[in-house]
């Protein structure tokens, strides 16, 4: 048989499609990559019924449209990808190869805030960053350091770069970044107008956070950055309610700001869930409500489900062990997920892969008892948390992010 523009022609003159074009690869975390492409304009004698994506290392998958998810890739082994189009009369020739990626394990970074040794009233700030491999239980490992000791910062990430945002102390207006796959100290990213105790999330290209507390006032300001490009933050829009000590979760397109307090003393609490479309600047819109008004809570999740955990009832009130979840694509109120192994508050650091969320550190509501606990849950299945391992210190008012969260 002969070829017609890359497709195969049978002896009866019926032919297969041309190959797809513009093949690109993203992801690769935990051996799962997303292969995108453009369908051929010439479908052959009949319409295209499906596509195949294959890796240079021997793995493949089928689908009816772009993108196609290919799993089973070996962590640490580089791979390129090709796509094929199929119709009733055959399979196209291979597309041009994509660029190369090297799959990596899901890695979560925990930016320590105030740290001390267990049950103590000490609240000294720290510059420590630790990391965990989210797919494997075990203790955290040293990653590097921030340029200065701080607490109350936020964190967000693309699949390759993590950015810490602000903090209560000398880093109050600073943003710093690291390359997630490589341990080491942070590098200057740019500045904000002042961000502390805020919710943050990201898509694969853009990070979004609320300014929370600025010039001794709780504010409703939302800002954003392009994670691949260093520089100062830009105005995004406004929250529906000014608040701080709140959390954030996202898919690749939508981010949700969760709860918090409308005053710096944690006495006036919010149960509000606001959302924004990450790619489009503008004010936040109503999403729904938490089960109850909660402050000092944190959040992370998969591309479909956001989970929040910990927090407290207000002021120097009672820390809680409640986890709640929302379906990110559908507005509505939060639903009970289960309980942490230990009730705790003071901004527990949450990091997640596409399947697992971990809650790291925290303290009691008064801040004089610290925990080095790491808990984990399977995001798709409600239930109580299980032990993951331990942090190397006892941090509170900390932050977390990963190379595999729901916005990627």
Q: pLDDT digits over 204-257, tens only?
A: 999 999 998 888 899 999 999 999 999 999 999 999 999 999 999 999 999 999
The distance of Cα 72 from the centroid of its chain, to the nearest Å, equals: 22
For residue 5, what pLDDT is reported? 46
Question: For residue 240, is it within any domain?
Answer: yes
> Do 116 and 84 reside in the same domain of the chain?
no
Instruction: Please tell me the pTM assigned to this model.
Output: 0.89
Question: For residue 24, is it within any domain?
Answer: yes
> Do 42 and 112 reside in the same domain of the chain?
no
Q: How many residues does the chain have?
A: 408
Q: Domain ends where: 58, 91, 124?
A: 91
Q: Percent of the chain, pLDDT > 90?
A: 84
> Do 84 and 161 reside in the same domain of the chain?
no
Residue 36 is part of a domain; what is its CATH number? 2.60.40.10
> Do 82 and 186 reside in the same domain of the chain?
no
Q: Percent of the chain, pLDDT > 70?
A: 96
SS (HEC) of 86-135: EECCEECCCCCCCCCECCCCCEEEEECCEEECCECCCCEEEEEEEEEECC
Average pLDDT over residues 162-175: 92
**Interval 105-140: pLDDT, tens:** 999 999 999 988 888 877 789 999 999 999 999 999
Question: For residue 243, is it within any domain?
Answer: yes
Find the distance separating the first CA and the last CA of the chain, reported in whole Å.
43
Position 14 confidence tier, pLDDT thresholds 50, 70, 90: low
Question: For residue 97, is it within any domain?
Answer: no
> Do 72 and 158 reside in the same domain of the chain?
no
> Do 164 and 307 reside in the same domain of the chain?
yes
Count helices and strands in the chain by DSSP H and E runs: 0, 37
**Residue numbers of the domain that contains 8:** 2-91
Q: Token pair for residue 81?
A: 């990808």
**Interval 261-318: pLDDT, tens:** 999 888 899 999 999 999 999 999 999 999 999 999 999 999 999 999 999 987 678 9
> Do 287 and 141 reside in the same domain of the chain?
yes
CA distance readout (Å), 114 to 65, 317, 345, 368: 48, 19, 13, 11
Question: For residue 98, is it within any domain?
Answer: no
Q: Token pair for residue 52?
A: 């195949």
For residue 8, what pLDDT is reported? 47
| CB atoms inside a 10 Å sphere around CB 282 | 11
Phi first, then psi, for residue 177 (nearest 5°) are -130, 160
Residue 364 is part of a domain; what is its CATH number? 2.120.10.80
> Do 80 and 112 reside in the same domain of the chain?
no
Torsion angle in degrees (nearest 10) through CA of 106, 112, 113, 118: 120
Please determine, for residue 332, whether its predicted confidence score (pLDDT) is greater than 80: yes
Task: Work out the mean pLDDT of the chain and round it to a whole number.
Answer: 93
Q: Token pair for residue 276?
A: 């924004």
**How many angstroms separate the most distant Cα atoms in the chain?**
84
Q: Domain ends where: 57, 91, 125?
A: 91
Position 4 confidence tier, pLDDT thresholds 50, 70, 90: very low
Structural domain tally of the chain?
2
> Do 45 and 167 reside in the same domain of the chain?
no
Question: For residue 408, is it within any domain?
Answer: no
> Do 75 and 140 reside in the same domain of the chain?
no
Q: Domain ends where: 91, 120, 154?
A: 91
> Do 69 and 190 reside in the same domain of the chain?
no
Place of tokens 């899901």: 106
Question: For residue 177, is it within any domain?
Answer: yes
**Interval 173-183: pLDDT, tens:** 999 999 999 99
Question: For residue 287, is it within any domain?
Answer: yes
For residue 12, what pLDDT is reported? 47
> Do 388 and 285 reside in the same domain of the chain?
yes
């Amino acid at each position: 048989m002969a070829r017609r523009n890359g497709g195969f022609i049978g002896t009866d003159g019926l032919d297969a499609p041309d190959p797809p074009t513009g093949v690109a690869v993203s992801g690769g975390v935990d051996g799962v990559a997303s292969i995108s492409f453009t369908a051929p304009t010439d479908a052959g004698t009949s319409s295209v019924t499906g596509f195949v994506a294959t890796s240079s290392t021997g793995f493949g998958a089928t689908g009816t449209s772009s993108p196609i998810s290919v799993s089973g890739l070996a962590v640490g082994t580089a791979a390129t990808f090709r796509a094929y189009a199929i119709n009733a009369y055959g399979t196209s020739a291979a597309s041009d190869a994509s660029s190369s990626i090297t799959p990596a394990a899901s890695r979560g970074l925990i930016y320590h805030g105030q740290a001390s040794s267990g049950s103590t009233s000490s609240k000294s700030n720290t510059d420590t960053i630790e990391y965990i491999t989210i797919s494997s239980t075990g203790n955290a490992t040293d990653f590097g350091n921030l340029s200065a000791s701080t607490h109350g910062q936020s964190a967000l990430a693309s699949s390759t770069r993590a950015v810490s945002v602000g903090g209560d102390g000398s880093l109050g207006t600073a943003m710093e970044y690291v390359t997630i796959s490589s341990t080491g100290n942070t590098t200057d990213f740019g500045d904000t107008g002042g961000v502390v105790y805020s919710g943050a999330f990201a898509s694969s290209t853009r990070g979004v956070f609320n300014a929370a507390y600025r010039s001794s006032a709780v504010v409703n300001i939302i800002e954003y950055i392009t994670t691949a490009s260093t520089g100062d933050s830009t105005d995004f829009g406004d929250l529906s309610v000014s608040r701080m000590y709140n959390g954030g979760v996202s898919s690749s397109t939508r981010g949700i700001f969760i709860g918090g307090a409308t005053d710096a003393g944690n006495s006036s609490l919010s149960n509000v869930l606001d959302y924004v479309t990450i790619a489009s600047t503008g004010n936040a819109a109503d999403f729904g409500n938490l089960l109850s008004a909660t402050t000092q809570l944190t959040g992370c999740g998969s591309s479909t489900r956001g989970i929040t955990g910990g927090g407290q009832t207000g002021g120097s009130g009672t820390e809680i062990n409640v986890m709640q979840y929302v379906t990110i694509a559908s507005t509505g109120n939060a639903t009970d997920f289960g309980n942490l192994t230990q009730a705790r508050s003071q901004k527990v650091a949450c990091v997640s892969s596409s399947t697992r969320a971990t809650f790291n550190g925290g303290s009691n509501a008064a801040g004089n008892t610290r925990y080095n606990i790491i808990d984990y849950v399977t995001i798709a299945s409600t239930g109580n948390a299980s032990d993951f391992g331990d942090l190397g210190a006892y941090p509170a008012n900390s932050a977390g992010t990963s190379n595999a969260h729901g916005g990627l």
